[in-house]
Amino acid sequence: QVQLVESGGGLVQAGGSLRLSCAASGRSFSSYAVGWFRQAPGKEREFVVGISWSGTNTYYADSVKGRFTLSRPNAKNTVYLQMDRLKPEDTAVYYCAAVAISSIPTVAAQYPYWGQGTQVTVSS
């Protein structure tokens, strides 16, 4: 079992920045790929970005490419999502998820472990 806890959400003006964290406990987190998803009211949960278990590969949704950066420092059970140049359409609950796989899945159903989510609100 892997337990995930997100933090760092909040209210920010358009153009601002936030950094989300996803802290893991339980089994060795280093063998898990991690994905971030978001869900806005009335919309389906969508993939935002993922990082491989090694931290060497990342994959970004087109909507956040060039604005968001996902990192995974060595020997730490935490991944960080730096979100810059935020837009009102980035407003959502952000979830991190983990799966013991070498690739970076983009489908939510492929992730068995989820955090509780953190709210990000971007005002215009």
Tens-place pLDDT, residues 48-107:
999 998 889 999 999 999 999 999 887 678 999 999 999 999 999 999 999 999 999 999
Measured distance CA(99)–CA(111) in Å, rounded: 5
* Whether the predicted pLDDT of 1 surpasses 90: no
Tens-place pLDDT, residues 105-123:
999 999 999 999 999 999 9
Phi and psi at residue 89, in whole multiples of 5°? -75, -5
* Closest CA relative to residue 51, chosen from 79, 74, 24: 79
For CA atoms 123, 80, 97, 7, the dihedral sign is negative
* Whether the predicted pLDDT of 5 surpasses 90: yes
- What does the DSSP assignment read for the chain? -EEEEEE--EEEETT--EEEEEEEEES-GGG-EEEEEEE-TTS--EEEEEE-TTSS-EEE-TTTTTTEEEE--TT-SEEEEEE-S--GGG-EEEEEEEES-SS---SGGG--EE---EEEEEE-
Q: What is the mean pLDDT of residues 15-33?
A: 91
Tens-place pLDDT, residues 39-57:
999 999 999 999 998 889 9
Q: What pLDDT shows up at residue 75?
A: 65
Provide the token pair at 75. Answer: 């020997």
Q: What pLDDT shows up at residue 76?
A: 76
Q: What pLDDT shows up at residue 107?
A: 97
